[in-house]
Structure 1
Amino acid sequence: MNFLNIKEQIKSNGYTYESFGAKVGMSKASIARIASGNQTPSFETLEKLANALDIEVIDLFKSKKGYEEPNGYVEYLGEVHKITSMEDLKNLIDKQ
């Protein structure tokens, strides 16, 4: 399960899954699977989503519910990485 706040970001920007999917070139179903945590997005997908929302990738990991540290999973170079701190995400981004 992914704990990204993509659902909140999409909603707060006035999109539905369908309209946001159209904006980023993904299906409504793919957006819904990522937002619900049923699909682990690649880092490239996270970049695409963040760019479309005009936010940084790290903002997709920040919880709106008061948690300080990010919490989620991302696929990068064929491996799934658990992100539980800002340092985890920074280390992953630095690998690029």
Structure 2
Amino acid sequence: MEILRVKEILNEKGWRNKDLADKIGTSENSVSAIVTGKKFPKPETLVKIADVLDIDIRELFNPSKSVDLQEIFTKDENGNLKSVGFIKK
């Protein structure tokens, strides 16, 4: 299993490796190595990647455990359900 989701996120955003490389100031080869899992980036590079992709840094990682969550709702003043978050089952 890949640790990082960089390739998936780039695809979702319609970006190429070169687009990311240009924005974080590195080579396309370095980004390619990160995307393919051949190289793990330094923490400061992870921060740059998350910043230019406009995502929380945690979104770069695949979850290491599957957690069973239950969504919790409340009713607003009109009686409509509104999600307030998740709890572990």
TM-score, L = length of structure 1: 0.61
Structure 1 residue 24: Cα displacement: 1.3
TM alignment of 1:1-96, pairs within 5 A: 2-62=2-62, 70-71=63-64
Q: Name stretches of at least 5 consecutive residues in structure 1 with no aligned partner.
A: 63-69, 72-83, 86-96
Query: 1: CA distance between counterparts of 2:58 and 2:25?
Result: 21
Query: 2: CA distance between counterparts of 1:3 and 1:36?
Result: 10
Structure with more helix by fraction: 1
SS at 1:58 equivalent: helix
Structure 1 residue 3: Cα displacement: 2.0
Higher relative contact order (CA 8 A, sep 6+): 1
Over 4 Å off, 4+ runs: none
Larger radius of gyration: 2
Q: Name stretches of at least 5 consecutive residues in structure 2 with no aligned partner.
A: 67-89
SS at 1:9 equivalent: helix
Percent sequence identity over matched residues? Answer: 36
SS at 1:55 equivalent: coil
User: Match of 1:4, as an amino acid?
Assistant: L
TM-score, L = length of structure 2: 0.66
